[in-house]
Amino acid sequence: MAGASIEATLDLWVSGLREAKARLRPLFRQERMAASAGLFLDGLLSEERRKTGWMRAEAAGDPGPWRQQAVLGRGHWDADALRGVVRDYAVEHLAADDAVLVIDETGFLKQGKASCGVARQYTGSAGKITNCQIGVYVSNKGHAFIDRALYLPKAWTEVADRLAAAHVPAETVLSTKPRLARAMIERTIGAAVPFAWVTADSVYGVGELEDALRRAASSTRPMPSRL
């Protein structure tokens, strides 16, 4: 937006944020929970380096952190539906036939044993812990996250009490990283997201993912997907 005034740029940001919050509103049954979610989103975009519950509550003008915490814990809303909202928003603005799906991993440094998925396993970002995979949509118009999947190692999936304590569905079983990546790609295809390429780290291999992409490319929907 070269040459735009500061006022025009700020107006654009405000209108965009207002639109994003409007898209999130149907996910929540109560208006107060939707309002807390909106304030939580404001906090994520703030300049605070540490975004704790108490800090977010203070910035939002709340007497304590419980409203912010409710968004992540006690509140009932569909995380998969939110994933769809984020994906659709990104595709509306970035869609391109030659776009690329990037399957990547993000490591979260955690201590203790209670955080869901925490285990000692390799991550390139820190050399210690890898907790999840992130699906990134990239086109010549920009890039954005459009999917996510939490990787749970055997130390989690084989201990029912541990899963229950972290509120993980009891039917959850071990799923390899390539399998999680394949599920994300299949969701992307099912949502009719245009793309031409898929790229991933060597940990994902080529066999299972490549076969799935070749089958998708040869289906009735024309899509020259490649790994």
**pTM for this predicted structure:** 0.80
Q: In whole angstroms, what is the distance from residue 10 CA to residue 146 CA?
A: 25
Long-range contacts, stretch 17-25, CB < 8 angstroms, 24+ apart: 17/41, 17/42, 17/45, 20/89, 23/85, 23/89, 24/82, 24/85
Sheet holding 132-139, edge to edge: 142-150, 132-139, 100-106, 197-200
If DSSP codes are grouped into helix, strand and coil, which group holds residue 209? helix
pLDDT value at residue 151: 87
126-140 tens-digit pLDDT: 555 556 667 788 888
Please answer whether residues 191 and 223 qualify as being in contact, where contact means their C-beta atoms are separated by less than 8 angstroms: no
116-166 tens-digit pLDDT: 777 766 665 555 555 666 778 888 899 999 999 888 888 889 889 999 988
pLDDT value at residue 72: 81
187-213 tens-digit pLDDT: 999 999 999 999 888 777 777 788 888
The residue among 81 and 177 whose pLDDT is bigger is 81
Helix crossing, 6-24 with 79-94: angle to 10°? 140
Report which of 118, 186, 174 is spatially closest to residue 147, judged by C-alpha positions.
186
12 alpha-carbon distance from chain centroid: 24
